């Protein structure tokens, strides 16, 4: 017997956070602008703000960045978001000040309850503390909280709460030492 019945899936109680027409406009803007190779960051920031993102000063957004729902994105000051980062924010993603998201980072706020036949949708926010660095090709799962100053190393898969000033490696991410900042 198959324990999953995708014909029973329904997410009618999922609150998308914006009207359908706004979402459709965003999909068009994302496909032709945000996800493009065109250089420049200021216009990407302006476009995200136009669609409801709260973005601080001095934010750099590289080409080919994808954001699912800009109205569920909060970004602090002086943040760098690298090429091909994907912010899959069915729930709110909050990024602190002076955070670096390197190339190909994936922030995933949604999953499914595999114990339920209808494969129910589950969403949980992601929070990244001030001064953290999420290195290239890393993945943060639903509900992840990255502490202030933490480093999530190359290709990590992180879930849960990561300690402030911890340096993490592996899949699953494990703290390998404490971060010491010179000067």
Is 182 inside any structural domain?
no
CA 118 to chain CA centroid, nearest Å: 26
Is the pLDDT score of 3 beyond 90?
A: no
Q: Kindly state the percentage of the chain with pLDDT values over 90.
A: 79
Q: Binning pLDDT at 50, 70 and 90, where does residue 21 land? A: very high
Q: Which of 72, 13, 24, 64 is nearest to 48 (CA)?
A: 72
Domain-located, residue 6: no
Tens digit of each residue's pLDDT (9 = 90 or more) over 119-139: 999 999 999 999 999 999 999
Residue 95, domain member (yes or no): yes
pLDDT at 131: 98
> Quick count: other Cβ atoms within 10 Å of Cβ 55?
20
Distance separating alpha carbons of residues 181 and 158, to the nearest angstrom: 22
pLDDT at residue 174 in the model: 98
Residue 170: CATH number of its domain:
2.160.10.10
CA angle 54-94-86, nearest 5°? 90
Residue 5 lies in a domain: no
Does 10 map to a domain?
no
Stated pTM of the model = 0.94
Report if residue 2 sits inside a domain.
no
How does residue 148 score in pLDDT terms, banded at 50, 70 and 90? very high
CB-CB contact of 37 with 63 (8 Å):
yes
pLDDT digits (tens, 9 = 90+) for 45-103: 999 999 999 999 999 999 999 999 999 999 999 999 999 999 999 999 999 999 999 99
- DSSP of 113-171, one letter per residue? -TTSTT--EEE--EEE-TT-EE-TT-EE-TT-EEPTT-EE-TT-EE-SEEPTTEEEETT
In a domain, 49, yes or no: yes
Whether the predicted pLDDT of 168 surpasses 80:
yes
102 is a domain residue: yes
- Whether residue 183 is predicted with pLDDT greater than 80 in this model: the reply is no
Nearest to 124 by CA among 164, 98, 89, 153: 89
Number of domains in the chain: 1
Mean pLDDT score of the chain: 94
Residue 46 C-alpha from the chain's centroid: 19
pLDDT of amino acid 39: 83
Give residue 102's domain range. 18-177
pLDDT at 1: 67
């Amino acid at each position: 017997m198959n324990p999953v019945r995708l014909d029973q899936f329904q997410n009618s109680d999922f609150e998308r956070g914006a009207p359908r027409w706004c979402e459709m406009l965003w999909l068009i803007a994302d496909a032709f602008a945000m996800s493009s190779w065109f250089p420049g960051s200021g216009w990407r920031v302006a476009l995200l703000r136009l669609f409801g993102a709260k973005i601080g000063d001095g934010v750099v957004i590289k080409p080919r960045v994808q954001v699912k729902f800009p109205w569920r994105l909060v970004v602090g000051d002086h943040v760098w978001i690298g090429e091909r980062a994907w912010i899959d924010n069915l729930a709110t993603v909050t990024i602190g000040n002076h955070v670096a998201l390197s190339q190909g980072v994936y922030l995933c706020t949604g999953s499914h309850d595999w114990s339920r036949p209808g494969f129910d949708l589950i969403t949980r926010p992601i929070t990244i503390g001030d001064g953290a660095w999420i290195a290239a090709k890393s993945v943060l799962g639903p509900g992840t909280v990255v502490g202030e100053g933490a480093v999530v190393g190359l290709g990590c898969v992180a879930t849960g709460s990561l300690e402030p000033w911890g340096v993490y490696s592996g899949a699953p991410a494990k703290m390998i030492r404490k971060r010491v900042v010179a000067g």
